[in-house]
A and B are shown apart, each in its own frame.
Chain A
Amino acid sequence: MKPLKFRRKTLALVLLAGMSATASAQMMINGAGATFPYPIYSKWFDEYAKVDPSVRFNYQSIGSGGGQKQILAQTVDFGASDGPMSDENLAKAPGKLLHIPTVAGADVVAYNLPGNPALKFDADTIAGIFLGQIKKWNDPKITTLNPGVSLPDQEIVVVHRSDGSGTTYIWTDYLSKISPEWKSKVGTNTSVNWPTGIGGKGNEGVAGQIKQTPGALGYVELIYAVQNKMPYAEVKNAAGEFVKPNIQSVTAALATADIPEDFRFSITNAPGKDAYPICGATWLLVYEQQKDATKGKKLVEFLKWAVKDGEKMARDLQYAPLPENLQERVLKRIHEIKI
């Protein structure tokens, strides 16, 4: 009898769990994707739980590739990506997908060296390192850019993403623009065939790897480097200036962008002497026609809040908010979502 009794108990537990589900009217809206804006999104969703306690936004940072994939498969209510979706993928979507830009951020070159010296890189050097041609920290290409810094005779441990990633998209988009060799050998995508290095899962994973590995160098979103007190490099931009990645230099890059109607744009290697060259915007991906009216309504309410109020939190987390004229264009687009 005991096993039966035991089973009855578990059954009762399951029923109880099911009942409590129907009892709590709290709605769950699920999203997944980019890890690049994850710090600000998780802040938004935390704050928004106070604005509208009847709904929770569960966001899993599985990578931009994942965001695109899961919204296409409709396994989530919204996706998130910092690489715009390709025409090919958009065509596969069961409905029209909208790109809603939220904030812009920077891919920084973060590293782990004894003493954490401040370093400078230019496009050639970065491409060389990621192509596996510059192997040591004391390579002449690095030392000439950084006179006065003593660099060890140590292998550079390149860290890149192992998952499909918008941070990678921005990074490879930049490398493809500045290095023909990169463009022909590797190309631009959310995940690529890396010539060298070790893989980490998510911005979190890459930052974690860099932190754990002496001699490591990799790319992460600015906030991950700042929050983890990792050093990150100044990078020479298209105008020939060395620029530190920060809100101003990202905003400067964003200002140069010519933004089309569908909001898919790239701001890597932007002109302008204050612009940081490796930055990009990040998007939420939502269907124009929402399947579920109640969820859709809440989602639209949230999007409006994000563009109006959420943007104000961007600076605290080192993201550049959208310029005001763009905010208005985005709001207009949000109004077009059909519920």
Chain B
Amino acid sequence: MTMHSSRADNHTWRKIMNALASATTFVSALLVIAPLGLIFFHLLANGASSVNWAFFTHLPKPVGEAGGGMVNAIVGSLELLAFASAIGIPIGVLGGVYLAEYGTARANALLRFVADVLNGVPSITFGVVVYGLVVLRFKGFSAYAGGLALGLIMVPLILRTTEEVILLVPNGYREAALALGVARWKTIVYIVMKTASKGIITGILLALARVGGETAPLLFTAFGNRFWNHNLSEPIAALPLQIFTYAISPYDDWHRQAWAGALVLVTGIFCVNVLVRILTRGRTTSAV
């Protein structure tokens, strides 16, 4: 009898432990997503009222004067991203193609490894390096320098996603094209990359969303600008940079605008993420 009851106790105990573990891990999950909720709440509470027409159309006012907007920073960020894309996308995509289509397994494992390690290098390091390589050499802060820093950060990100999605293209596609006598490079470009295009674009978009919010590499490269600038060899404003400057300032009006800028930036990044989700949703059912 005693044995039986202790076994029953044991059983209850195990059940309690099971419930406890479920509860603890559930609470952990809640705690992990709690900051997201809080940040969103405060972004909306502090920023929404300031996201207005002036914010999207006006230049910043002189220090300490209320009003003005961040239009030059928003456009500046887009220009930086365009230039970063011109560097990061070709290198990343073609590099990914190499890993997926060519190369020996050993060499590729090493390249993949290096790309992953590069991914972990702090973004500010890219700023320091570009400062030494570009800013000091060409005597001036510039949009080129900022875009280059962002573009280099994009390379390993795009390279790895491209490789992955190209590996997903069924081999039959390649074989069919090659059997028809199509050159290998044409097979890769017109058949394989085309089939994987959604995935490649997804990777590119995610990389853009990531570097679009980067501030540290722009501090000593793009440098910031209070006015319009479309000359890429001059300093340029960027949204994250402007948010940083305004956030650490003492001016209430700048704080207001920093929140508004943050809300706009986060909205932009989330839109890209939603777009990615839409792009990837159909994929599991389609050929790839």
Contact = CB atoms under 8 A, between A and B. Distances in A.
Q: Check if A and B associate.
A: yes
A224 B64 CA distance: 8
A30 B140 contact: yes
Given A30-B235, A46-B62, A224 B229 contact: no
Interface stretch (B6-14, B46-54, B104-112, B189-197): B189-197
Given A73-B136, A75-B139, A6 B63 contact: no
Contacts of A114: none
Given A17-B232, A208-B248, A208-B250, A42 B82 contact: no
A263 interface: no
Nearest to B247: A208
Interface in A10-36: 10-11, 13-14, 17-18, 20-22, 24, 26, 28, 30, 32
Interface in B192-209: 193-194, 197-198, 200-201, 204
B230 A207 contact: no
B89 interface: yes
Contacts of A207: 249-250
B166 to A, nearest CB: 11
Query: Counting chain A CB atoms within 10 Å of each CB, which of B226, B250, B251 scores highest?
Result: B250
Contact of A59 (B197, B201, B226): B226
A205 B204 contact: no
Interface residues of B, number: 46
A14 B144 CA distance: 11
B197 A21 contact: no
Is the contact region of chain A dominated by helix, strand, or loop, or is it mixed?
helix
A28 B249 contact: no
B62 A42 contact: yes
Contacts of A13: 82
Contacts of B139: 73-75
Nearest to B234: A28
B226 A42 contact: yes
Given A201-B248, A228-B250, A58 B226 contact: yes
A280 interface: no
Contacts of A147: none
B197 A2 contact: yes
B282 interface: no
B268 interface: no
B62 A39 contact: yes
A202 B248 contact: yes
A3 B200 CA distance: 7
Interface residues of A, number: 51
A75 B200 contact: no
Contacts of A24: 230-231
B225 A58 contact: yes
Interface string A302-317: 0000000000000001
Interface in B170-214: 189-190, 193-194, 197-198, 200-201, 204
B163 interface: no
Query: Counting chain A CB atoms within 10 Å of each CB, which of B90, B93, B200, B227 scores highest?
Result: B227
Nearest to B65: A43
Contacts of A4: 189, 193
A49 interface: yes
B59 to A, nearest CB: 9
Interface string B215-253: 000000001111111111111000000000100111110
Nearest to B138: A75
Interface string A61-98: 10000000000011110000000000000000000000
B140 A227 contact: no
Nearest to B189: A4
A123 B139 CA distance: 43
Contacts of B257: none
B197 A3 contact: yes
11 contacts: A3-B197, A3-B200, A4-B193, A10-B85, A21-B230, A28-B234, A45-B226, A46-B62, A73-B136, A73-B139, A75-B141
Given A3-B197, A3-B204, A14-B86, 18 more contacts: A1-B197, A2-B198, A6-B89, A7-B90, A13-B82, A17-B83, A17-B232, A22-B231, A39-B63, A39-B64, A42-B63, A56-B227, A74-B140, A75-B139, A204-B250, A228-B252, A230-B250, A317-B64
Interface of A: 1-4, 6-7, 10-11, 13-14, 17-18, 20-22, 24, 26, 28, 30, 32, 38-39, 42-43, 45-46, 49, 56, 58-61, 73-76, 200-202, 204-205, 207-208, 210-211, 223-224, 227-228, 230, 317
